[in-house]
Amino acid sequence: FHKIKYEDFAEGPVPDTTADSILQELSQGRPVALGLPVFKLKNSHKNNWTYNGALNSGIVFGPAARPDLVDREMRVSGHCVCVTGFQPGPEHLGGGWFIFRNSWNGDFGKYPDAPLAGYPGIGRRGNGAVSLDYVNGYTVEYLSLIPAA
């Protein structure tokens, strides 16, 4: 049996140590299931996960990194991914990026060999990235399995 590390922030503020907790799990070789809100884009019917920029690059912008694009007042849904790694980055680009595997497979992160300037490479088609700021500000829940000793 496995022990479970689970945090649920649906009813309250997200601690600013959430990203650190996820990084600790990754450092132990444990992937993390991560639930994040989906936000409507400003002046569009699409959202920050399904517009062409995200589908093609795999980079999912949150409200802190792209307030000009993402409407933080309009949560339209949620989405879960499996976080498998982290790439440090400059503060003005979100403070680093969690690399994840998306359940949409090859329909997401279609062009992994053409990363946006200054943003992480996602490694392979079907992967993506969300910023440390997005995780620290908006995580709904996360889960990791800890092997029994």
In this predicted structure, what is the pLDDT of residue 148?
Answer: 77
In this predicted structure, what is the pLDDT of residue 89?
Answer: 81
* Distance, C-alpha 27 to centroid of its chain: 17
In this predicted structure, what is the pLDDT of residue 119?
Answer: 85
In this predicted structure, what is the pLDDT of residue 58?
Answer: 95
User: Where do the structural domains in the chain lie, given as residue ranges?
Assistant: 2-147
Distances (CA, A) of 99 to 73, 94, 147: 25, 13, 22
Distances (CA, A) of 49 to 11, 29, 126, 145: 23, 27, 13, 26
Q: Extract the residue ranges of the chain whose pLDDT is less than 50.
A: none
Query: pLDDT tens, 23-54?
Result: 999 999 999 999 999 999 999 999 999 999 99
**CATH 3.90.70 at 2-147, yes or no:** yes
141 in Cβ contact with 9 (< 8 Å) = yes
Residues ≥6 apart with Cβ < 8 Å to 109: 55, 56, 57, 58, 102, 122, 124, 125, 126, 127, 128
Q: Take residue 26 and report the two structure tokens written for it.
A: 């990754």
